[in-house]
Structure 1
Amino acid sequence: MGRRLTSPFLLFVLFVAIASAVTYTLPQDHWKKALPGTSMPSAVRDLLPTGKETSPGGAAMEDNKGIVIVPGYWHPYWHPYWYYWYPYPGTYIYKYAASESQLHDDPNASLFFLEKDLHPGAKMMLHFTRTAPAAAFVPRAVADSIPFSSKKLPEILTRFSLKPNSMEEAAMRKTLRECEETAAEGETSGCATSLESMIDFATSSLGTHDVRAVSTEVGKGGAEKQQYYTVVSAAGQSLAVGGKSVTCHAQSYPYAVFYCHATPAATKAYVVPLAGEDGSQVTAVAVCHADTSAWNPRHLAFQVLKVKPGAVSVCHFLTQDHIVWAPRK
């Protein structure tokens, strides 16, 4: 919990050197100024630049403005569905169908449930993972200096010393394409390439800076395996009842990028305390969609829950790297 992910498939982060004349504000400093008194969820804390990152070779460089420039190579997670058409739980894409094999092979399929089943004592088989590489935030001044467009992908690849026709390019192309898609009906959406722009999107969509920001918080051991979890309590834990919320989903990119969308009142969010059978504790964020009539009938949620579009409220837990924003009550 709280550590960035490292594996043979992921050697993160690429920061780009920008002209030293630029005055940088660290993302965490902007949070404190823009959102005084708002607790920072782990999905944000885990991606903050510390000024002490090291490259895969062990060497770290720091410019005279305190921004770390880390040479190295970035590898997105490999998952046979992610880069082509599979919508992971919590995603904003509800138009895709799912294959029959996903019902058996994908541990995230268990994250779907019905709202009526969200009550104390309910047991669910869950596995809380991440859905994107844990790449760090870069300051807005840096992010805004880097092209972010499918049309500019060759230039972006050159900027990060990444090869065309590589796994990295496929992941980046998918992220850029999804960021450029039209928002779902009744929603506003956009991709935040910095923490500052995420805060701006959330607060402008909600019409206030007096907000809560929450993400799934997994205690020690809870993220290591799939196991049964028991709902400890659910009453009084709802967020944004009768109003808008904003959900931001981590994307696969060399630096932290989130797809954010403002959801209508028909979508509810809950903070749900869970207890694992091994004693681990999870404070999970769940989102429930009351209107699923426009979803693809072959969406994974319907196959898992054996229900039809628009019939019932469909819910899913969010993995560790998604964030829900809501006005403070």
Structure 2
Amino acid sequence: MASPLLLALILISLAMMPTPNVAESPAESYWKMKLGSETDMPKIVKDALIGSDENAKVMIQKGFFTITKEVESSSMCNTEDHNYSKAFNNTLEDIDPTKHSIFFIESDLIHPGKTFKLNFMKIEDNAKFLPVQVAKSIPFSSKNYPQILEMFSAKPHSTSAVIMEDTIEACEKKAMEFDEMKLCALTLEDMVDYAISYVGQSMSTVSGYVDRKIQDVHTVLNAKKIESDGAMFCHKICYPYAVFYCHKPKETNLYEISMVDLEGKTMNAIGVCHANTAFWAPKHYAFQMLKVKPGTVPICHFLNERSIAFVPK
């Protein structure tokens, strides 16, 4: 179980919160207040909301914030997804390019018929946004690793501990691109405020959500470019509670890609293309996979179901 101190902080914070409408959490109200009810809340964000005070207390009593081995796969994203996300942090181990078309070049979308080996996993990730008061009271820094591990009852060098340390390290790491803006949002309120500060209050959202598990070859039917100049992206990363890695890369294009599998089933995916990769690490996995050099061609990847884009209108 999480430490008694952490549980006490959460319960006290929840007790101080106004009683929300059964169908709407305080975080959801904040979203609507800041962005308007017409701005769609992506499923990955909705799933990270805590409902009423009572529901939150029940989840806490059931060990919702526990990351012991028995519930590791349900309280944090699994190791396969964690390894996939590490491809974006310049690491190569545990990634099999024969199983995943993680990266591709923008010209692949120009002509229909390009095939991709997709791996859209349905990930059991129950991590929720903490109330603002609680999130502010919990350390989130590499300087506090021992305290954080103790707070979440994680043994040093365990799978949970390694994933937590990797997440904090990614949040503290310098942005991939020169002068790129980034933030690890520990609450929905932080994510919304950060999006507004760089995108503006008038925005739409684009999600990589796919309604089923997909692990097979798909062929591109067509690709439609989405007006996305100035878009900001947020990716839910592995942690006991909801943390979104948000960044605003420069010169980025979005595409809605219509695809079909070998059985004739169609789907739509979102492709993100980075036009300027000159500042990416020379040994970045994408360059090794595509056999290209930094800054030579636009490099793309699919927006997975744990990712969203805030796009200015």
Same fold per superposition (TM over 0.5): yes
Residue matched to 2:194 = 201
Q: 2:259 matched to 1:259?
A: no
SS at structure 1 position matched to 2:287: helix
Shift of 1:316: 0.7
* TM-score (norm. length: structure 2): 0.80
Shift of 1:69: 5.0
Runs of 4+ in 1 over 6 A off after TM superposition: none
2 CA distance for matches of 1:32 and 1:125? 38
Residue matched to 2:208 = 216
Could you tell me whether the CA contact under 8 Å between 1:230 and 1:275 is conserved in 2?
yes
Q: 1:116 aligns with which of 87, 107, 113?
A: 107
Q: 1:148 aligns with which of 140, 155, 169?
A: 140
2 CA distance for matches of 1:132 and 1:267? 29
Residue matched to 1:283 = 268
Could you tell me whether the CA contact under 8 Å between 2:182 and 2:247 is conserved in 1?
yes
Q: 2:142 matched to 1:157?
A: no
Q: 2:226 matched to 1:238?
A: yes
Output one character per residue of 1:37-61: Cα deviation in whole Å (capped at 9) or x when no partner: 1011122123222459xxxxxxx96
SS at structure 2 position matched to 1:233: strand
Q: 2:236 matched to 1:250?
A: yes
2 CA distance for matches of 1:67 and 1:303? 43
* TM-score (norm. length: structure 1): 0.76
Output one character per residue of 1:136-168: Cα deviation in whole Å (capped at 9) or x when no partner: 222323322222122222222222222233221
For residue 237 of structure 2, what is the amino acid of its counterpart? Answer: Q
- Identify if the C-alpha distance between structure 1 residues 232 and 88 changes in structure 2 by more than 3 Å, giving closer, same or farther: farther
Q: 2:216 matched to 1:227?
A: yes
Shift of 1:67: 8.1
Residue matched to 2:48 = 47
Q: 2:290 matched to 1:305?
A: yes
- Identify if the C-alpha distance between structure 1 residues 217 and 156 changes in structure 2 by more than 3 Å, giving closer, same or farther: same
Q: 2:173 matched to 1:173?
A: no
SS at structure 1 position matched to 2:30: helix
Residue matched to 1:56 = none
- Identify if the C-alpha distance between structure 1 residues 38 and 132 changes in structure 2 by more than 3 Å, giving closer, same or farther: same
For residue 211 of structure 2, what is the amino acid of its counterpart? Answer: G
Residue matched to 1:182 = 174
- Identify if the C-alpha distance between structure 1 residues 30 and 306 changes in structure 2 by more than 3 Å, giving closer, same or farther: same
Residue matched to 2:29 = 29
Residue matched to 1:4 = none
Could you tell me whether the CA contact under 8 Å between 1:135 and 1:256 is conserved in 2?
yes
For residue 201 of structure 1, what is the amino acid of its counterpart? Answer: Y
User: Structure 1: 5+ residue runs without aligned partners?
Assistant: 1-13, 53-59
Identity of aligned residues (%): 36
For residue 195 of structure 1, what is the amino acid of its counterpart? Answer: L
User: Structure 2: 5+ residue runs without aligned partners?
Assistant: 1-5, 19-24
Could you tell me whether the CA contact under 8 Å between 2:182 and 2:248 is conserved in 1?
yes
Could you tell me whether the CA contact under 8 Å between 1:61 and 1:69 is conserved in 2?
no
SS at structure 1 position matched to 2:10: coil
CA RMSD of aligned residues (A): 3.0
Output one character per residue of 1:206-245: Cα deviation in whole Å (capped at 9) or x when no partner: 1x1111121112133xx1x42122334323x4131xx322
Residue matched to 2:22 = none
SS at structure 1 position matched to 2:245: strand
Select the structure that is richer in helix. 2
2 CA distance for matches of 1:197 and 1:234? 33
- Identify if the C-alpha distance between structure 1 residues 280 and 28 changes in structure 2 by more than 3 Å, giving closer, same or farther: farther
For residue 325 of structure 1, what is the amino acid of its counterpart? Answer: F
Residue matched to 1:3 = none
Residue matched to 1:78 = 79
